Amino acid sequence: MDFASFLTSLGTSFVIFLVLMFLFTWLSRRPGNYVIYYPNRILKGLDPYEGIRLTRNPFSWISESLASTEADVINMSGVDSAVYFVFLTTVLGILVFAGLLVLPVLLPIASTAPGEKADNTTSEGSFNDIDNLSMGHIQLKSPRLWAYAVATYWISFVAYCLLWKAYKHVSDLRAAALMSPDAKPEQFAALVRDIPPVPEGQTRKEQVDSYFKAIYPDTFYRSMVVTDNKKVNKIYEELKGYQKKLERAEAIYAESKQTSSPEGTRPTTKTGFLGLIGNKVDAIEFYDEKVKELILKLEAEQKVTIKEKQQCSALVFFTNRVTASSAAQSLHSTLVDTWKVTDAPEPRQLIWTNLPKKFYVREIRQYVIYFIVFLTIFFYMVPIGFISALTTLDNLKKLLPFLKPVVDQKAIKTVLQAYLPQLALIIFMALLPKLLLFLSKLEGIPEKSHVERAASGKYFYFSVLNVFIGVTIGSTLFNTLKDIQKDTSSIIPLLARSLPKSATFFLTFVALKFFVGYGLELSRIVPLIIYHLKKKYLCKTEAELKEAWAPGDLGYATRAPGDLLILTIVFCYSVIAPLIIPFGVVYFGLGWLVLRNQVLKVYIPSYESYGRMWPHMYKRIMAALILFQATMLGYFIVKKFYYTPILIPLPILSLIFAFVCQKKFYRFFQSTALEVASPELKENPNMEGVFRSFIPLCLSSEKGDEYQFEDALSQVSRTGSTV
Amino acid sequence: MDFASFLTSLGTSFVIFLVLMFLFTWLSRRPGNYVIYYPNRILKGLDPYEGIRLTRNPFSWISESLASTEADVINMSGVDSAVYFVFLTTVLGILVFAGLLVLPVLLPIASTAPGEKADNTTSEGSFNDIDNLSMGHIQLKSPRLWAYAVATYWISFVAYCLLWKAYKHVSDLRAAALMSPDAKPEQFAALVRDIPPVPEGQTRKEQVDSYFKAIYPDTFYRSMVVTDNKKVNKIYEELKGYQKKLERAEAIYAESKQTSSPEGTRPTTKTGFLGLIGNKVDAIEFYDEKVKELILKLEAEQKVTIKEKQQCSALVFFTNRVTASSAAQSLHSTLVDTWKVTDAPEPRQLIWTNLPKKFYVREIRQYVIYFIVFLTIFFYMVPIGFISALTTLDNLKKLLPFLKPVVDQKAIKTVLQAYLPQLALIIFMALLPKLLLFLSKLEGIPEKSHVERAASGKYFYFSVLNVFIGVTIGSTLFNTLKDIQKDTSSIIPLLARSLPKSATFFLTFVALKFFVGYGLELSRIVPLIIYHLKKKYLCKTEAELKEAWAPGDLGYATRAPGDLLILTIVFCYSVIAPLIIPFGVVYFGLGWLVLRNQVLKVYIPSYESYGRMWPHMYKRIMAALILFQATMLGYFIVKKFYYTPILIPLPILSLIFAFVCQKKFYRFFQSTALEVASPELKENPNMEGVFRSFIPLCLSSEKGDEYQFEDALSQVSRTGSTV
């Protein structure tokens, strides 16, 4: 890729971003769009514009983002979002500090170096301005390489310092949130799995209650045995569906009264498949009947479920937080595969179907899934390699000669050359997260946030291996197959040699991601269009309308690995092609601004894991750093630098640093420290409320008769409780 | 080694054993020796012969051993000893079951096989009877090898079954012991380490008490801050020394009254070094003065220690067992390196000097020690290799030609050939355990039993690597250096090829160990002689006499690795040279009998770890099994058996089995399960007694004034306690 097409790519991206930003400014001012641009504030009962109506210029959202504090983020969106900003700030900090030393020193060194003609610096073998600024331009064995070695050390140490601070800060955030005097239901509960078979003459709930009463005579409150809710859930969903249809039919009827005749036209429906075949009947009557019928059916099924479909898992409730969190950390039975007690997830996070999965089933599933993911990672590489090779213009021309007249036109050629490979890659990558989420859920994890973390980890390794290493080596493989045959022995020198050749590819990849990606994110064009279409043609009731603009959450599972991939790329190129650092800074800086806006005004978190995502992100940042250090080591060897061994301590230092950090901080992210659980609460918790908050929707009563599950779902044992 | 010298070795060993056994029968009947042969019973206040005086034949101890039950062992010697017998029984069971199939099938197959002349079957290249029975006698690619493959599978599966049962049994034993309604002090305590610096305006004990009172308002009893006892301990030891000398002087004086003049001669001593130089003074007066002086000094130092030498570690006491054991399993502080709470060891097991060691100091020490042990293991190999080569007679003759006339005499030659290498090996191995114990203690482990386990693990790996692999390969190296040069690539085929050559060496090694080793163990000749010498020439007072016959404990740290080494050897040869199986059976059978006798009558355990040794032994049995399977795989390759791959699943199966076992059972050996801690106690524990039992001897008052430490050593916080 030459300099002109690089600039074109950059320019086009920037123009798109500007257009999207102005679109955002214009659209977000119209009250009809408030539900798209301020849903979080609206749902929290705040005025969308409260206190921020002062400036109405297109950049006002930037100053609003900058003015917001960490406490605001925690208030509006929880600890998880705040931790995500700690991640963005830390990475931004590392890159800014790195750039401060690296850019003013390495760029002049590279540009004034006597270049190596026709060496492995560009993919086309011809020189251009960007490549002149990279480490590839330095001659073999040159003493100028010392500067690059120092830069590698500098970046590593900056990373250590800021990561340490960040880990400590996140740990404090987590502690502060867990210490909060507002009682949260999950802090009083523990999840029990692998309950052994019920002994003769006892019911499941008697078994659970007597077991925990013996161990915690003073603090055990009551238990809730997990039931197989598959059937009752299906009926419940059906009921909800008919209730919606009924509402809708009533709305249509009411509307018809206003628009056509005063008595209105009663809507009709067909009784068969999807309302398309069968007898034509009055819709309101039909749905009303269905709803009544299903309510009876649901109540009957609820009773059956609660009595007969009890599983080998339960939630137990304690009257204080210390006991609950210490129970979750203690071994209860002498055998690990029975009575396994762990932290209870938030009620909204519980994956009920995973709760009764047995210990060995979970273990085996986990390994099987790891194996499947391993296969996926390695077999996805094959099509990705092809795509990365096919989508370079030259290859396209060779393979599809009829395209030649089109792509040879100057303008089209430039644009295509700039975007085609990146677009293909981005589309390809969007297919995967769903699969990984599905696989992670199969592992038997009881918590939604944990599933997302697991999927996110898999996605990161996938993207680093396939996108970064795959593209880098893949393009080299296609370009210079003979080079490879010489040294197949080691991947690090191979990777190191291929890196400079792919530098501009990744520069444009990063630029595309931040300008177009964050532009779309900020302007919310797609949700806006969908909302307006739905509003116009589909939605009849208030509930349907609300559903149409419901904003969703930040989407950790794909966002974090995406950012980490960019970070890996920027780290690895930071010394070889320092020009990538400003791109990284813009990516994370812009990301910070845009997401700050989105978190405060748009997204609603679907769970709260109190920063448990952080250790995962931290681990991957360290992996990226070590990959960077190993790559540099390899590249210095390629450059025949005599003093290369002085870089050997770096990966070792990183491993020690990562080990110490995880050792010191990680356990608190696995389980709640007791000193954090011990502070006094604002008021004695309403234990009945805590208990009720865990009853799944499909089992809670429609009529508000709160006590119908008492005898079956759990046994009240108030004698021992102190509340 | 030829068959004659093998039989001689065996015969001699057996004769020695018989002699020692009759010696035992004769000596143990004399009442003057009761303290040597029945110390455990005497110290427990039982009649040495109670209920077992019926038979007085030399084999009566065998029937007594056989008649004793596991409950007897637990009563007399604790759970740890019972677990050791589970180990012996399990191994014995594996070998008996293995022998039942392997011996009647494999021996005829080998002896009727058309032999391979002059192949790699004996060290001398000539055939003899023993080698005819080994797998080395089977021709390459012979279909008879199928029987050996089946035998390998059989032994593995027998091992799996019995090990699973044993693990479960030990787990039950541990649970039963911990569930016991008799309160043990350590069950109410937890050890706190890494206490952060004392905040301004608080004392250390206020800090500890307020921290735990906040978390456990209802169950926290009080705390004991660990102090630096180095100086006070030195004074205490000195005082004890002078008290002993005083008693001794008084005894001598009393004796002189009876023997010489009625007014007696007062003993004298010199005031200088070791009582050898300086002024001559009256011993009783001098010692009496010293004792008085030191008591004052001790009291002063005790006060100083308790007030000013408090360390960053403490013992905390709870009023119930569940809280104590759940506290030991829970994270208390958000940072892992502060307020680390673990199980409290028994008071007698505490290593006070290790308690205040900081988290990172412990971690670093651990890795440094591992590294030192690693070096030790590999550098001990060099001298051992030399010894194993030098001590074969042929080599000795070559190196020391003047020995030739001596060693060429038939009788001497046979004996030397049989014993020399083994004796050298045994002596060499006896030097190591002390070093390993010392190193393990340096790791900062707070518990004596844990130190012994750590040392024992190191010793096992050492002995397998050096004795077994070292001797096997070492002898091959010296014998056939040219063989090695052909295939240095892999150690497994090399080991496999060398095995049959060393078979007879190990046969005699095992025989020597059991006949002579257990003979000496049973007859207790050495302690007996020492005791009688001391009694006659040294002991003047009752206390000194008691010290002279005090029996000590079983000596886990060296006994278990020794047994495991034998087990490794027997496992590895069980199929290649099945003749070793009966030797193994005799070793473990005789061991069971002799040690049962010793445990019931002689040894007094110096600690109780409730079977925590078992997972360590289990892990090493599995290591031996996997080594056996790998060796067989290698040897089948050497034998060019076409179907060798059918053995590949075995090591994988073993790894899975080991993994599942450890996963299921191990955690209970790390920490107490709460269901085990929860049963009601016989009576409410005397918390003051529990607390006092942890006060180190050097800090406990001489005068019985129990409350002098109250204000400084710990703060009584009775307000919150429920007892």
Q: Does A175 touch chain B (CB under 8 A)?
A: yes
* B171: closest chain A residue by CA: A334
Lookup: tokens for B281: 């003074």
Which band of pLDDT confidence, cut at 50, 70 and 90, is reported for residue B606?
confident
CB contact under 8 A, B674 and A322: no
CB contact under 8 A, B667 and A332: no
- B213, B323, B330, B667: best mutation site toward chain A, by most A Cβ within 10 Å? B330
DSSP state for residue B30 in the 8-state scheme: S
> What pLDDT, in 10s, does the model give residues B449-470?
899 999 988 888 888 887 777 6
pLDDT of residue A57: 67
- CA dist A445 and A145 (Å) reads 49
Which one, of B466, B485, B497, lies nearest residue B386 by Cα?
Answer: B466
Lookup: tokens for A249: 């039919």
Q: Does B221 touch chain A (CB under 8 A)?
A: no
Torsion sign, CA atoms A329, A331, A336, A338: negative
Find the mean pLDDT for residues B477-496: 54
CB contact under 8 A, B337 and A664: yes
Strand partners, A223: A316
pLDDT of residue A318: 92
pLDDT of residue A524: 85
Which band of pLDDT confidence, cut at 50, 70 and 90, is reported for residue A719?
very low
CB contact under 8 A, B672 and A331: yes
Percent residues over pLDDT 90 in chain A:
21
Range of lowest pLDDT (A25-39, A333-347, B406-420, B531-545)? B406-420
- Look up the ipTM and state it: 0.80
* B656: closest chain A residue by CA: A364
Chain A residues near residue B335 by CB distance under 8 angstroms: 171, 664-665, 668
pLDDT of residue A400: 66
CB contact under 8 A, B675 and A214: yes
Q: Does B333 touch chain A (CB under 8 A)?
A: yes
Q: How far is CA A449 from CA A695, B107, B401, in A?
A: 19, 62, 79
Sort A44 into a burial class: Cβ within 10 Å, 0-12 / 13-18 / 19+: exposed
Angle at A42 between CA A36 and CA A46, to 5 degrees: 140
> What pLDDT, in 10s, does the model give residues B502-511?
777 777 777 8
Which band of pLDDT confidence, cut at 50, 70 and 90, is reported for residue B721?
very low
- A331, A343, A680: best mutation site toward chain B, by most B Cβ within 10 Å? A331
Phi–psi pair at B567, nearest 5 degrees: -60, -45
DSSP state for residue B467 in the 8-state scheme: I
pLDDT of residue A128: 55
Find the mean pLDDT for residues A387-415: 67
Find the mean pLDDT for residues A383-396: 63
Q: Quick check: A395 pLDDT over 70? A: no
Lookup: tokens for A381: 């590489």
Chain B residues near residue A678 by CB distance under 8 angstroms: 214-215
B313's enclosing H/E stretch is strand B310-318
Q: How far is CA B485 from CA A408, B477, B490, B493, B631, in A?
A: 65, 10, 11, 13, 20
The answer to whether residues B305 and B235 touch, using CB atoms and an 8 Å cutoff, is no
pLDDT of residue A12: 84
What b/e readout covers B257-271, taking b as 16+ CB neighbours within 10 angstroms?
Answer: eeeeeeeeeebebee
Which band of pLDDT confidence, cut at 50, 70 and 90, is reported for residue A718?
very low
Which one, of A455, A457, A462, A460, lies nearest residue A437 by Cα?
Answer: A455
Q: Does A334 touch chain B (CB under 8 A)?
A: yes
Half-sphere exposure of B638 (CA within 13 A, CB side): 27
Q: Which amino acid is at B145?
A: L
> What pLDDT, in 10s, does the model give residues A639-659?
888 888 889 999 999 999 999
Question: Nearest CB to A334: which of B171, B331, B337?
Answer: B171
Q: Which amino acid is at A688?
A: E
Half-sphere exposure of A331 (CA within 13 A, CB side): 22
The answer to whether residues A76 and A641 touch, using CB atoms and an 8 Å cutoff, is no
User: Is residue A49 helix, strand or coil?
Assistant: coil
Task: Specify the long-range contacts of residues A280-286, CB closer than 8 Å, at least 24 apart.
Answer: A283/A245, A283/A249, A284/A246, A284/A249, A284/A250, A284/A253
Which residue do the tokens 């120092």 mark? A150
Chain B residues near residue A362 by CB distance under 8 angstroms: none
CB contact under 8 A, B674 and A332: yes
CB contact under 8 A, B675 and A215: yes
Find the mean pLDDT for residues A410-433: 69
CB contact under 8 A, A671 and B327: no
Lookup: tokens for B588: 């473990």
Share the mean pLDDT of chain B: 81
Chain B residues near residue A214 by CB distance under 8 angstroms: 675, 678-679
DSSP state for residue A313 in the 8-state scheme: E
Find the mean pLDDT for residues B516-539: 84
pLDDT of residue A484: 47
> What pLDDT, in 10s, does the model give residues B660-695?
998 899 999 988 899 888 887 777 778 888 888 888
pLDDT of residue A585: 93
Torsion sign, CA atoms B316, B317, B320, B325: positive
- CA dist B470 and B381 (Å) reads 7
Question: Nearest CB to B326: which of A171, A330, A333?
Answer: A330
**Choice between A547 and B233, residue whose per-residue pLDDT is larger:** B233
Q: Does B722 touch chain A (CB under 8 A)?
A: no
Which one, of B558, B514, B508, lies nearest residue B391 by Cα?
Answer: B508
Find the mean pLDDT for residues B374-385: 73
pLDDT of residue A420: 65
> What pLDDT, in 10s, does the model give residues B281-330?
787 888 888 888 888 888 888 888 888 888 889 999 998 889 999 999 99
Which one, of B365, B371, B381, B352, lies nearest residue B458 by Cα?
Answer: B371
> What pLDDT, in 10s, does the model give residues B44-85?
777 666 555 545 666 778 888 888 889 888 988 889 999 999
Find the mean pLDDT for residues A550-576: 86
The answer to whether residues B682 and B718 touch, using CB atoms and an 8 Å cutoff, is no
- CA dist B129 and B674 (Å) reads 59
CB contact under 8 A, A663 and B336: yes
Strand partners, B316: B190, B223
Chain B residues near residue A215 by CB distance under 8 angstroms: 322, 674-675, 678
Sort B545 into a burial class: Cβ within 10 Å, 0-12 / 13-18 / 19+: middle
Range of lowest pLDDT (A290-304, A392-406, A513-527, B274-288)? A392-406
The answer to whether residues A213 and A719 touch, using CB atoms and an 8 Å cutoff, is no
pLDDT of residue B98: 92
Torsion sign, CA atoms A90, A96, A99, A101: negative
pLDDT of residue A530: 86
Q: Does B211 touch chain A (CB under 8 A)?
A: yes
Task: Specify the long-range contacts of residues B465-471, CB closer than 8 Å, at least 24 apart.
Answer: B465/B377, B465/B381, B466/B377, B466/B380, B466/B381, B466/B384, B467/B384, B467/B425, B467/B429, B467/B565, B468/B565, B468/B568, B468/B569, B468/B572, B469/B495, B470/B381, B470/B384, B470/B385, B470/B388, B471/B384, B471/B388, B471/B425, B471/B502, B471/B505
pLDDT of residue A478: 56
Which band of pLDDT confidence, cut at 50, 70 and 90, is reported for residue A393?
low
pLDDT of residue B175: 92
CA distance B188 to chain A (A): 15
Percent residues over pLDDT 70 in chain A:
81
CB contact under 8 A, A667 and B215: no
Find the mean pLDDT for residues B549-569: 84
Lookup: tokens for A485: 């045959």
Give the number of other Cβ atoms within 10 Å of residue A702's Cβ. 11
pLDDT of residue A492: 58
Chain A residues near residue B722 by CB distance under 8 angstroms: none
Phi–psi pair at B112, nearest 5 degrees: -90, 0
* A175: closest chain B residue by CA: B334
A281's enclosing H/E stretch is strand A280-282
Q: Quick check: A157 pLDDT over 90? A: yes
CA distance A638 to chain B (A): 30
CB contact under 8 A, A326 and B325: no
CB contact under 8 A, B335 and A664: yes
Which band of pLDDT confidence, cut at 50, 70 and 90, is reported for residue A407?
low
Chain B residues near residue A325 by CB distance under 8 angstroms: 330
CB contact under 8 A, A336 and B678: no
CB contact under 8 A, A336 and B665: yes
pLDDT of residue A713: 47
pLDDT of residue B717: 38
pLDDT of residue A717: 38
DSSP helix, strand, coil percent of chain A (3-state; round to 5)? 70, 5, 25
* B214: closest chain A residue by CA: A678
Which band of pLDDT confidence, cut at 50, 70 and 90, is reported for residue B386?
low
Find the mean pLDDT for residues A409-427: 68
> What pLDDT, in 10s, does the model give residues A459-488?
888 888 877 776 776 666 655 544 445 554
User: Is residue A184 helix, strand or coil?
Assistant: coil
pLDDT of residue A95: 95
- CA dist A176 and A186 (Å) reads 16
Q: Quick check: B708 pLDDT over 80? A: no
Question: Nearest CB to B336: which of A337, A664, A677?
Answer: A664
pLDDT of residue B629: 93
Phi–psi pair at B438, nearest 5 degrees: -60, -45
Q: Quick check: B117 pLDDT over 60? A: no
Q: Quick check: A173 pLDDT over 90? A: yes
Q: Does A179 touch chain B (CB under 8 A)?
A: no
CA distance A329 to chain B (A): 6
pLDDT of residue B127: 43
Q: Quick check: A92 pLDDT over 90? A: yes
Q: Quick check: A122 pLDDT over 70? A: no
pLDDT of residue A112: 81
> What pLDDT, in 10s, does the model give residues A670-701?
888 998 888 877 777 788 888 888 888 888 76
pLDDT of residue B490: 54
Chain A residues near residue B339 by CB distance under 8 angstroms: 675
CB contact under 8 A, A215 and B665: no
Find the mean pLDDT for residues A508-521: 81
Q: Which residues contact B610 (CB under 8 A, 6 or more apart)?
A: B79, B80, B174, B177, B178
Range of lowest pLDDT (A597-601, B362-366, B398-402, B515-519)? B398-402
Window 661-700 of B: residues touching A by CB (8 A cutoff) are 663-668, 671-676, 678-679
- CA dist A334 and B175 (Å) reads 7
**Choice between A550 and A150, residue whose per-residue pLDDT is larger:** A150
Residue A194 — left, alpha, or beta (φ > 0 → left; ψ -120 to 50 → alpha)? left
Share the mean pLDDT of chain A: 81
**Choice between A709 and B207, residue whose per-residue pLDDT is larger:** B207
